[in-house]
A and B are shown apart, each in its own frame.
Chain A
Amino acid sequence: MNAALSFHIKLQRKDFALDVKADIPNGITGIFGPSGHGKTSLLNSIAGIVTPDSGYIRLNGDTLLDSNKKVNVKIRQRRVGYVFQDERLFPHYTIRKNLLYGEKNPDPELFDEVIDTLQIAHLLNKKPEQCSGGEKQRAAIGRAIISGSKILLMDEPFSALDVNLRREIIPYLNRVHQKFSLPILIVSHDLPDLLSLTDNLLLLKNGQLQGHGKFTDLLDQPENLELMHQSGWYNVLHLSVLEYLESKNMVLLKSHKSNLQIQALTQTIGKDVEVNQELKVLIKPESIALSKEPVQNISLRNQVAGTMKEVFLKDGLAFCVVDVGENIIVEVTEASQKSLCLEKGQRVYCLFKSAALKIY
Chain B
Amino acid sequence: MNSILELRNVTMQFGGVVAVNDFSMHIEEGEIVALIGPNGAGKTTAFNCITGVYEPTNGEILYRGHTIAVSHPRGRMRRNYGGAHGDLYTSRRVISPSPDEITRLGIARTFQNIRLFKSMTVYDNVLTAMHLRARQNVFSAVFRISWKEERRMREETERLLKEQDLYQYRDEKATSLPYGKQRRLEIARALATEPELLLLDEPAAGMNPQETRELSAFIKEIKERYSLSVFMIEHHMDLVMDISDRIYVLDFGSPIAEGTPEEIQKNQRVIDAYLGVRDDV
**B partners with A:** no
Chain B interface (Cβ < 8 Å from any Cβ of A): none
Chain A interface (Cβ < 8 Å from any Cβ of B): none
